[in-house]
Amino acid sequence: MSQLNLTNTLGGKVEPFEPIEDGHVRMYSCGLTVYNRGHIGNFRTFVSQDILRRYLEYKGLEVTQVMNFTDVDDKTINGAREAGLGLREYTQTFIDYFFEDCETLNIQRAEHYPRATDPEYLDAMVELVQKLEARGHTYKTEGSIYFKVDSLPEYGKLSKVDVAGIQSGARVDSDEYDKENARDFVLWKGPKEGEDSWDTAIGPGRPGWHLECSAMGMKILGETFDLHAGGVDLVFPHHENEIAQSEGATGKPFVKHWMHTEFLLVEGAKMSKSKGNQFTVKDLIDEGYSAMAIRYLLMSVYYRQQLNFTRDGLDQAATAIRRVDDFLARLGEVTRDGDASDETQEAVAAGLKRFETAMDDDLNTSAALAALFDLVKGGNTALSSSTVTQGDAAAFREAIERMNSVFGVFGRSEKLTLDEEVEKLIRERKDARAKRDFARADEIRAELDARQIVLEDTPAGTRWRRK
């Protein structure tokens, strides 16, 4: 099997990706903070991770993936309080939405979905803080426990943040901040009135955001694992602090390879609630766009480039999917007996090789899709010659399905439910053609066309689709 090469944020270079354990990849993905429904920016990252997971499996590797839910932080606590609900009840709603959206977008499930408030992971967080205390990386003040950044000389190696100007004891309680505010960060937050807290061996309180992922990742995947993935916005401070906590506690490398997905723009602008351009998957489905068009657009641009998400792009995605789905449908109509020709086998092998070369080159999905569409183009040309055999059709179909095991987007077009009137018109047209009343048949075609329904007459019968 060919070699997969991936950009490693730790070092900033494209490197051969080789799992620590032969044949098995241990992978951690930063999931949602569940105070709201995830938006399409979140799902660009989740789709890119799904593509990675699928391609690892395509290459015959076993994948154990962990994706966490942050269900305790300022946002979830405030949201639960405003809703008059307990923290677990409040956050479960958004966890349910997440799984609904993943199913809609055909994102494969991870093996583990730990929650920060699960008792076994709270225990793991406490144990991690105790290890850091024993190794001299912490201090306590005002009921909270902080990590001393200057106690770890390699701090900043992922994000390249300059910590030279940090004053001893300067600290930050917020989980989210930028490089200009690099400070000692909170591991365990002391209890505050009206906030959820837990009584533990390190005192009452609740975990800081960064602590959660370190503890959950190491508890499930081990002290050193293969791959950690997330959005580019998490490089600092979140992932930098994960490294500090984990390596500070164990003295071992935390993660071998870091993968980060670039930002998503909407109609050329940064996505934000204040601009009114922050959409969820459900928002777009409710507008009438197909789930697979959304997935296609999210995966169509190389993950390390910004993606400009537009409605025109969704329309183009739907057209691209229909092109492949129509090709698959045509293959199903081939009735000529015979094995696959040498020409077909060569075309299929060349298409798969181009696909794998593109994916091995840092998951270049744009080039991989180009390989698929060139194969479809060649297949359609062959079908037009009426020389294609069932063996040829099977070879083309198998190659498309092999590629689609990674893309996860073709052959899933939503079934069109026609109302009784339209169904009646299609039957009437069929009868008119049988009676050679072609004028009436053409009238019905035109009427259906006006309703955005296209009829395609084939040797196997009439097929229809939406425009």
The answer on 450 and 306 residing in a single domain is: no
| Residue 212 maps to a domain | yes
| Residue 307 maps to a domain | yes
Residue finishing a domain among 240, 261, 282: 261
**Alpha-carbon gap, residue 169 to 185, rounded angstroms:** 10
**Alpha-carbon gap, residue 211 to 140, rounded angstroms:** 16
| Residue 31 maps to a domain | yes
CATH number at residue 333: 1.10.730.10
The answer on 86 and 227 residing in a single domain is: yes
The answer on 130 and 248 residing in a single domain is: yes
User: pLDDT tens per residue, the chain (467 residues)?
Assistant: 789 999 999 999 999 999 999 999 999 999 999 999 999 999 999 999 999 999 999 999 999 999 999 999 989 999 999 999 999 999 999 999 999 999 999 999 999 999 999 999 999 999 999 999 999 999 999 999 999 999 999 999 999 988 776 666 678 877 777 766 678 999 999 999 888 999 999 999 999 999 999 999 999 999 999 999 999 999 999 999 999 999 999 999 999 999 999 999 999 999 887 788 899 999 999 998 999 999 999 999 999 999 999 999 999 999 999 999 999 999 998 999 999 999 999 999 999 999 999 999 999 999 999 999 999 999 999 999 888 999 999 999 999 999 999 999 998 764 444 556 677 788 888 888 888 888 888 888 888 887 777 887 766 567 676 66
Beta bridge partners of 107: none
The answer on 95 and 20 residing in a single domain is: yes
The answer on 455 and 380 residing in a single domain is: no
The answer on 48 and 132 residing in a single domain is: yes
Residues 6+ apart with CB under 8 A from 117: 71, 72, 87, 88, 196
The answer on 335 and 215 residing in a single domain is: no
Residue 156 tokens, joined: 């900043």
Question: What is residue 402's predicted lDDT score, i.e. its pLDDT?
Answer: 98
Residue finishing a domain among 261, 286, 306: 261
Question: What is residue 1's predicted lDDT score, i.e. its pLDDT?
Answer: 72
pLDDT digits 0-9 by tens, 7-36: 999 999 999 999 999 999 999 999 999 999
The answer on 141 and 200 residing in a single domain is: yes
Question: What is residue 467's predicted lDDT score, i.e. its pLDDT?
Answer: 61
Planar angle of CA 86, 120, 229, nearest 5 degrees: 90
Question: What is residue 10's predicted lDDT score, i.e. its pLDDT?
Answer: 97
Residue 199 tokens, joined: 């009584």
Question: What is residue 450's predicted lDDT score, i.e. its pLDDT?
Answer: 77
**Alpha-carbon gap, residue 143 to 10, rounded angstroms:** 34
The answer on 432 and 397 residing in a single domain is: no
Question: What is residue 227's predicted lDDT score, i.e. its pLDDT?
Answer: 98
| Residue 412 maps to a domain | no
Question: What is residue 379's predicted lDDT score, i.e. its pLDDT?
Answer: 96
Question: What is residue 466's predicted lDDT score, i.e. its pLDDT?
Answer: 63
Number of structural domains, the chain? 3
Beta bridge partners of 147: 138, 185
Residue finishing a domain among 379, 407, 435: 407
Give the domain range for residue 195: 5-261
The answer on 279 and 181 residing in a single domain is: no
CATH number at residue 64: 3.40.50.620
| Residue 391 maps to a domain | yes
| Residue 236 maps to a domain | yes
The answer on 64 and 18 residing in a single domain is: yes
pLDDT digits 0-9 by tens, 50-66: 999 999 999 999 999 99
The answer on 317 and 389 residing in a single domain is: yes
| Residue 99 maps to a domain | yes
Phi, psi for residue 351 in degrees, rounded to 5: -65, -45
| Residue 81 maps to a domain | yes
